[in-house]
Amino acid sequence: MNTFNSGFAGLIDKFIWYRNASGCWNTTSEGNLRYFDNYCAKNYKDSTTLTQSMVDGWCSKRETETSCSCYARTYVVKSFIIFLRDRGLTDVRAPEVIHTKNVKYIPHAFTSMELHNFFKACDSIDLKYNRLQSKLRKLQCPVFFRLLYSSGIRTTEARFLRVQDVDLGHGVLDIRKSKGYDQHYVALHETMTELLQRYESAIQKIQANRTYFFETSKGTHFSRDWVEDNFTALWKSANGTTGNVVAYDLRHNYATENINSWENDPFAASENLHFLSKSMGHRWIQSTLYYYSIVPALADKLSRKTEPGLNKIIPEVWDEE
């Protein structure tokens, strides 16, 4: 029995079932779709079908909204309608979703000392009152953030990693839950594989039958807030200030460090770029090319040799990234 109230509640159930089966559904999307359902049930009580006026009314930008909040609220409705149209279940047009203005983000440029201090802070987490949550934090933070640093995976990908997705024998991650839901594999450095093996041995003693590789005391994956709250607290204790540094900057650092290492081997750059793009889970190589623009050593060298063609080769980062 569904818990939706509109005349097309059954279609919503089909959509959610499909997205869950595809492994690409979350509580935020369900919440926004439920708000849409309530809106239709309240304002179109006698309607048993989805109509264009329902969609247009709900998806129009409100005076109190920014473009970003409107996009977040309505995107799932667009996805729902595309799902229905692809199956011949509606003739309603998908809304024109308002896109936010691209803002060029400049990631933090880590120094060796900052990273040393940060990981030292991770390794020095105090165990408070012998509580389970405290034990988990002490075990998980040093490994979780080193995994981000050494592999370049997204924070979401690390949070959703399941035990079955981590091949500790060969040092390979099977990334199923990604930003674009594109499955890909990440080969780990042998030192990271060894660290994950030690972590697995230790965590088994207090979480024997867990689903997620990094799991909460309640048996769920960690939230985005857990990542940022812990990163911010550890970074501040290690380096004295937070600034604009976020955990996602470790992914940018992974890309730029790799690109910098190619400076003396220009003939291998094309092949390495392809490997880096696949490892980072980019759908388009343009997303990886973006990092050239934030690596001074390579950007300056390429600019000298290829200007003005460089700007055509290296576009702004795509929305996917």
Q: What is the pLDDT of residues 62-84, one digit of tens each?
A: 888 888 888 888 989 999 999 99
User: Average pLDDT for residues 100-122, to the nearest whole number?
Assistant: 84
At 25, the pLDDT band (50, 70, 90 cuts) reads: confident
Q: What is the pLDDT of residues 242-263, one digit of tens each?
A: 678 999 999 988 888 877 777 6
- SS3 of residue 215 by DSSP: strand
Please provide residue 241's backbone torsions phi and psi, each rounded to the nearest 5 degrees.
-150, 155
Strands (E), 142-182: 166-167, 172-175
Residues 170, 53 within the same domain:
no
Please say which residue of 27, 55, 86 terminates a domain.
86
Give me the CATH number covering residue 251. Answer: 1.10.443.10
Evaluate whether residue 95 is within a structural domain: no
Domain shared by 22 and 169, yes or no:
no
Domain annotation covers residue 76: yes
Same domain, yes or no, for 182 and 255? yes
Q: Which pLDDT value is given to residue 96? A: 81
Q: Give, rounded to a whole angstrom, the gap between the first and last alpha carbons of the chain.
A: 38
**Local confidence band at 97 (pLDDT 50, 70, 90 cut-offs):** low
Per the structure, the complete domain to which residue 37 belongs is given by 9-86
Shared domain for 228 and 294, answered yes or no, is yes
Is 219 inside a domain boundary? yes
**Residue finishing a domain among 39, 59, 86:** 86
Q: Is residue 286 part of a domain?
A: yes
**C-alpha pair distances (Å), 288 with each of 108, 148, 172, 256, 274:** 17, 17, 21, 10, 9
State if pTM tops 0.85: no
List CB contacts of 223: < 8 A, sequence separation 6 or more.
Answer: 159
What proportion of the chain, given as a percentage, has pLDDT over 70?
Answer: 79
pLDDT over 70 at 223, yes or no: yes
